[in-house]
Amino acid sequence: MASIKNVNGFAEKKEQSYFDLMGRQLPLIGKKGQKNVRSTRLTVIGLGGNGSAFTRFAALVGFRKMKLFDSKKLKLTNLNRNMFAGVKDLNEYKVIVAKRKLKILFPDMEVDTFPNDVRAPGMWQGAKECDWLIDSTDDDQTRKFLQEQCSSEEIPLISMASGFTFRDGCLVNAGSRVNRVQPELGDACLQCQALGEAPMEQTHVSLVIPNVIAAALAVDTLLRELTEYPYTAFHIGQTRVQSQVKNNAKLQQTNNFLLFDLVNRRIMSERIIPSPSCPICGNPCSKLG
């Protein structure tokens, strides 16, 4: 009996430690929401500038179950924006370095690493066992693969990208985008939201600023789906959750396309819905302001 009490006491202490750690954000997220965050299983595809920033931010807000996929090793040119790596980590797999640093930061994290391309034989079987899939890859072929697989498996998807576009040697646009594809909310597919447009990324040009903004917007999107954030009102020393406000927001079909314009310093959002000519959504895609 004493040993059972010791085990239960350890579990309670561990539970309390987690909520103590998250104490400053509980008024925004709520304890139920924080429990949802902790239990949500994330699969992150791509641990570059966007993916490493997302993974670190997600851990900071309390996500504790992650699968990390990236087949690449760290190069010197990765170190100006990778959120886990330093010079001593060069030539190691990005996912291995990320797991090692995450376990130092938060020992209670459950992290599975896959130093493989998600399209390699057998890899999708592991990737799909999640509640949300995060696409932070840097090529459209992988994005199309993830969209097709998530659509057939009905897995909610968040995709992010950031980069710079030049024309005749001049910078014409720069920034970040985040797309949510959640069919039960009537979201258009990723092909309609982003892949049909000119690519944002420009090879060999990068900066940490759009990376971290894309990552923050992606974490913000997840929190809006899993918790009462930002549907919380403060009243003299206490917090009251405005559940009705949240329900109304869901009924209005919240925006699923976020764009940060680095040149003009503005964030834009809009709603993109499917219509009959899309082979993936099943329905021209419309944009509602």
Confidence bin at 251 (pLDDT 50/70/90): very low
Q: Which residue type does 4 have?
A: I
Task: Write the CB contacts of 181 (distance below 8 Å, at least 6 apart in sequence).
Answer: 147, 150, 151, 156, 157, 158, 159, 187, 188, 189, 190, 193, 256
Alpha-carbon gap, residue 289 to 272, rounded angstroms: 9
* Region 272-278 average pLDDT: 77
Domain assignment of residue 75, yes or no: yes
Among 125-139, 199-213, 246-260, top mean pLDDT goes to 125-139
Domain assignment of residue 176, yes or no: yes
pLDDT at position 289 over 50: no
Domain assignment of residue 281, yes or no: yes
* Region 43-63 average pLDDT: 98
Query: Which domain does 37 fall in, by range?
Result: 25-288
> What is the predicted pLDDT for the residue at 159?
96
Alpha-carbon gap, residue 104 to 108, rounded angstroms: 9
Number of domains in the chain: 1
Tens digits of residue pLDDT in 173-206: 899 999 999 988 888 888 888 776 555 555 678 8
Share of the chain above pLDDT 90, in %: 61
If you compute the radius of gyration of the chain from its CA atoms, what whole number of angstroms results?
20
Domain assignment of residue 191, yes or no: yes
Domain assignment of residue 127, yes or no: yes
Domain assignment of residue 199, yes or no: yes
Alpha-carbon gap, residue 112 to 110, rounded angstroms: 7
Q: Which residue has the higher pLDDT, 167 or 267?
A: 267
pLDDT at position 275 over 70: no
Tens digits of residue pLDDT in 199-250: 555 567 889 999 999 999 999 999 999 998 876 554 444 545 555 455 444 4
80: CATH: 3.40.50.720
> What is the predicted pLDDT for the residue at 204?
76
